Structure 1
Amino acid sequence: MMTQKLSYWDVIIAGGGLAGLGLAKQLKQANPELTIVVVEKQGFPRPRAIAKVGESTVEIGSHYLSHHLGLMQHLKDNHLKKFGIRIFFGAPADDFAQQDELGASQTFGIPTYQIDRGDIENHLADEVRALGVTLIDQADILQLDTRVETDSAHDKQLVIRTGSGEQTLVGHWLVDTAGRAGLLKNHLNLAAKNEHKSNAIWFRVDRKITLDDWCNSPEWHARCMPEGRRWLSTNHLVGPGYWVWIIPLASGVTSIGIVMDDTAFDAAAISDQTSAMTWLAQHQPRCAAAIGDARFLDFVVLQDYSYDCKQLFSDQRWAVAGEAGVFADPFYSPGSDFIAFANGFIGSLITAERRGQDMRVQAVVYERLLRSIYQNTLSLYTGQYGGFGDRVMMGLKLLWDYSYYWGVLSLLYFRDALCDFEHIRPLAGELHKAQQLNQSIQALFRQRAERRLQLPNRGVFMDQYQIPCLQFFNKVLMEEPKLPLADELARNMAQVEQVAEAVRDMLGENPALEISPCERELLGDYRLKILGNGG
């Protein structure tokens, strides 16, 4: 059947969520002359608290949203400032203060946010339209082609159907940001599995859950400054093989997720709202009681959610970003980080090509770089869920994972080096060494996780804010650079290597259930003297 309308574009973006709208704005800011169309299946404006994971941000994703997309004021005015990641361990106790806590007593300097995806996507939609981007919503994609015969370089094609009929969009570039639909992945046979096996149940309830109300102890409340703000954290309730997230949204809605490895998932047998609440009542009764009779706004069960993609960027002018490409795991909330990485690489490729540069080597380097970041991120989770209820392992794990994330990856992103072809290539040797170090430490965590420990409750508070190296890494990111990037990276890596040595020493003690001297130092005020003053 012949379509009725034909239009030509520099860039066609299939998918109008955070990844697609963010890319459209980024491209327009860098190249105002570009003609861009974004095609989205759902309608605008979106409802608040839409059924998407990815409400919590960490430093790279927040930096991307606030600085690269210019959303700082919107984030401050319309979303919740996050109080970091917080984990509660141990068997449920009559007094919540008796459960072990891992988190920061104060927020580190770089702001992160709990974002309402509906609000931020509505705001971005308005902004990209104001910049001259065409947004076609409530559109079904009927056909996609990456190589069609035309008389120009516009050889990508999307056939869509809206309420006004069918139309064909012909473009120079085609970018898939349409999430798990995997448009380009299916079209080009790019789907790939990975070795991480995990499962998730998530839902939203129309109730604000204030975790601070779970304890009356003045001493417990005084652990954090300001008091009464724990509920703003991404709170995790953990056990062997599973973790539960509690994420607040500015709309008053709370996002709840139950994430499990195969062993825990098979035992839980969760398939609907009733079985989810039954499981919570047994394993995390305070969470179940806090949900109470709240109304469920949605409910999703997703098995084996982690996946790979054979290729993400092509010098043939197509690309994949967001969940349309790779997805590792929701722990540490890396989704917006990967949007930032991919959109930065894609923007750099499109800009280079428009300037007449040969982008073939650039496309290969960016592909390898993002794949390296993905594999490094995946290593944080693979085979480690069994240890999520183990406060010793997780105390060390978060120390290591934060140090690596802030000291290496965040440094490169905050210095705008990742997507700068000329800056990133000379750092390849140091980055390879860093990746090997990370892999060796993650292997130690996997060995510990095999024991699936849940240590007896001691009511300890592991205060990450007291760790000198974490203070140092975070402070560096907020400051203007005082050294060339290569020297900054080498200095940070020296600190990261000291953290690695501390982790090896403590895990090497192989402590039994009774607390060891190493654990006592870790769990007391969390000052690892081996790290010196962090500077």
Structure 2
Amino acid sequence: MPCLADRRNAEQPSPGSKPMNSKRQDVIIAGGGLAGLGLARQLITQRPDLDIVVLERNRFPVDETVAKVGESTVEVASRYFCHTLELGEHFHDSHLQKFGLRCFFGAPQDDFSQHDELGVSQRFPLPTFQLERGAMENHLYRELLERGVRIDHGVQIQSIDMSPRNHRLSFVDGEQEREYSGRWLVDCTGRYGLVKRQLGLARPSPHRGNAIWFRVDKTIKIDEWSGDAAWRERMVLDGKRWLSTNHLMGPGYWVWIIPLGSGATSIGIVMDDQAFETAAISDYPGALAWLSRNHPQCAAALEGSRLLDFVALRDYSYDCKQMFSDEGWGLTGESGVFSDPFYSPGSDFIALANEILSHLIIADSRGTDIAFETRALEFFYTSFFSNTLSLYTDQYGGFGDRTMMSVKLVWDYSFYWGVLALLYYKGAVADIQLLRRINSQLLEAISLNAQMQGLLRERASQRLVQPAAGVFVDQYQIPVLHQLIGQLHDESLSLEQALPVSVALLRELVPAMADLLGETPQRQVSDSERQHLGDFRQAVLA
């Protein structure tokens, strides 16, 4: 008798063949992008007996360079892809390892080394990546076919019936109309929001942002923007700045420069409403003209390149009333929520939603009543999103303020590594009992973050910009960041051991950060602050 994978592979239609008749599935995944394909891989790895079908409007293979926006991962997403989905070899072979997040400040300078710089002189120990979305999705597509997951691509979804535990989805495949029914339906259709539209789940976000992004067929190396020896020697490995997610910062905006494994480069211009209205960018020539005025080295680096794509998106942030239901449906990826591209959290939310959905689907398949867990995990996901959203709301005005951003990045990294990422790395995302035991510590951490983000919003409202002085704030030299990322790296350390340490550190950081923002009178630095922050205070105030 053939094994399950053999049977499923036999059901895959060959090129030019008639599609097979539809049948009832355990899981229907609408959307074959990173979220949908990642969920399919996670489910088939954990429960190989599940009947899963993925429907995707594009045809595979997709364009490896310009298929999707979203080129950078941070620690949660990297852990999900490399560890949970077991794709570490693919990432190290096919994608560029990041050199952290790096920001440059100040009005245009004749020599780029005169800008203030905030970043790392060498990598922290946990790898993150610049992700070529198309290459990743093509790789997942091929692997899923080998594992027997059915993928219908080049199809158009027509309608869905959301009857509990008996969802039906009709679609057009070529000229033939077909239908699947399934116990579970997961919406991975991105901003189209198939289920979200059907059930009226859209909810506005308090954060407003606008973005223009494009890709060019040229590797842009920011290290080549200055020949200053001292500037180059800041890096332990010379010439590796270009592997960072580089940011050119200004009041109300930032510009990303992300290299891709194919040799292309992604450029994004992200703005709050005030900066966006002033810039009035609507096309590629307008973007180049704006860059020439505000970041001439970037505009010069684009000369001689070929434009691969161009997209403009207004008011990109949005929320969702409900992500998961015990009636057998869920949303993941951008079909549900989107906060902001700064810090690259999009793939983190794919990881979180996919972990929750996998847990619920597998528990349900075993006959477990998932009603309580669904509500509890919905609350956890909503809280994670709300805390992430707080990092951006009403803060873009301070993005050109080196002092504010130096403080902000240290605090935001500390909260992310010490709390949010820690929950994921230590397996708490779908563990209701563990989340209950640490609830009081989580509430304190959330309260501390709310207090800190309030101080940052007050500073951001001033839209300050300091004259550039060639200052380098080396985050690699900040002891508290090493301690917190070390907890993620230490597999032997439990969440219940690590989280109290994180909360205690955050508690001590708040007054120190407030002081640096000018919210409290200048005071003598305590021994504890000096131990946690090292020379950070001196660098910020330089």
The TM-score, its normalising length taken from structure 2, stands at: 0.92
Separation of aligned partners in 1, 2:125 and 2:509 = 21
Separation of aligned partners in 1, 2:60 and 2:71 = 19
Separation of aligned partners in 2, 1:232 and 1:123 = 23
Aligned to 1:505: 515
Please tell me the residue identity of whatever aligns with 2:390: S
Separation of aligned partners in 2, 1:305 and 1:292 = 29
Aligned to 1:81: 97
Separation of aligned partners in 2, 1:26 and 1:34 = 11
Q: 1:527 aligns with which of 531, 534, 539?
A: 534
Q: 2:400 aligns with which of 382, 389, 402?
A: 389
Q: 2:87 aligns with which of 55, 58, 71?
A: 71
Residues 1:274 and 2:285 aligned together: yes
Separation of aligned partners in 1, 2:508 and 2:69 = 35
CA deviation map 1:446-481 (0-9, x unaligned): 000011011001100000000001011111211123
* 1:259 alignment partner, SS class: strand
Residues 1:255 and 2:266 aligned together: yes
Aligned to 1:331: 342
* 1:6 alignment partner, SS class: coil
Residues 1:493 and 2:503 aligned together: yes
Deviation at 1:422, TM superposition (A): 2.5
Match runs of 1:254-403 below 5 Å: 254-403=265-414
Please tell me the residue identity of whatever aligns with 1:486: E
- Between 1:432-441 and 1:247-256, the stretch displaced more is 432-441
5+ residue gaps, structure 1: 531-535
CA contact (8 A) 1:206 1:294 kept: yes
Deviation at 1:507, TM superposition (A): 1.6
Tell me the number of residue pairs that the alignment of Structure 1 and Structure 2 aligns: 515
Please tell me the residue identity of whatever aligns with 2:151: L
Aligned to 2:28: 12
CA contact (8 A) 2:479 2:533 kept: no
Deviation at 1:527, TM superposition (A): 2.2
Separation of aligned partners in 2, 1:249 and 1:48 = 10
Please tell me the residue identity of whatever aligns with 2:510: A
Residues 1:32 and 2:41 aligned together: no
Cα gap change, 1:18 to 1:45, in 2 (>3 Å): same
CA deviation map 1:367-401 (0-9, x unaligned): 11010010000000000000000000000000000
Residues 1:159 and 2:170 aligned together: yes
Please tell me the residue identity of whatever aligns with 1:217: D
Separation of aligned partners in 2, 1:353 and 1:8 = 16
Separation of aligned partners in 2, 1:166 and 1:480 = 50
Aligned to 1:533: none
CA contact (8 A) 1:4 1:167 kept: no
Deviation at 1:5, TM superposition (A): 4.1
Deviation at 1:47, TM superposition (A): 1.0
Separation of aligned partners in 1, 2:26 and 2:433 = 26
- Between 1:405-414 and 1:423-432, the stretch displaced more is 423-432
CA contact (8 A) 2:514 2:520 kept: no
Aligned to 1:147: 163
Deviation at 1:301, TM superposition (A): 0.6
Please tell me the residue identity of whatever aligns with 2:278: A
Separation of aligned partners in 2, 1:58 and 1:221 = 25
Residues 1:415 and 2:426 aligned together: yes
- Between 1:51-60 and 1:501-510, the stretch displaced more is 501-510
Aligned to 2:6: none
CA contact (8 A) 1:5 1:166 kept: no
Residues 1:92 and 2:108 aligned together: yes
Separation of aligned partners in 1, 2:263 and 2:118 = 25
CA contact (8 A) 2:480 2:533 kept: no
CA contact (8 A) 2:487 2:498 kept: no
Separation of aligned partners in 2, 1:202 and 1:464 = 28
Separation of aligned partners in 2, 1:50 and 1:339 = 20
Separation of aligned partners in 2, 1:410 and 1:6 = 41
- Superposed CA RMSD: 2.0
- Between 1:425-434 and 1:62-71, the stretch displaced more is 425-434
* 2:470 alignment partner, SS class: coil
Please tell me the residue identity of whatever aligns with 1:391: R
Separation of aligned partners in 2, 1:207 and 1:510 = 47
- Between 1:468-477 and 1:316-325, the stretch displaced more is 468-477
Aligned to 2:208: 197
CA contact (8 A) 2:67 2:134 kept: no
Separation of aligned partners in 2, 1:487 and 1:198 = 38
Deviation at 1:423, TM superposition (A): 1.9
* 1:266 alignment partner, SS class: helix
Separation of aligned partners in 1, 2:238 and 2:430 = 40
Separation of aligned partners in 1, 2:415 and 2:402 = 20
The TM-score, its normalising length taken from structure 1, stands at: 0.93
Q: 1:43 aligns with which of 42, 59, 66?
A: 59
> Alignment identity in percent?
52
5+ residue gaps, structure 2: 1-18, 538-542
Aligned to 2:489: 478
Separation of aligned partners in 1, 2:219 and 2:523 = 39
Please tell me the residue identity of whatever aligns with 1:121: E
* 1:369 alignment partner, SS class: helix
Residues 1:210 and 2:221 aligned together: yes
CA contact (8 A) 1:51 1:298 kept: no
Separation of aligned partners in 2, 1:133 and 1:4 = 14
* 1:380 alignment partner, SS class: coil
Deviation at 1:419, TM superposition (A): 1.7
CA deviation map 1:477-504 (0-9, x unaligned): 111234x422321111111212222111
Aligned to 2:480: 469
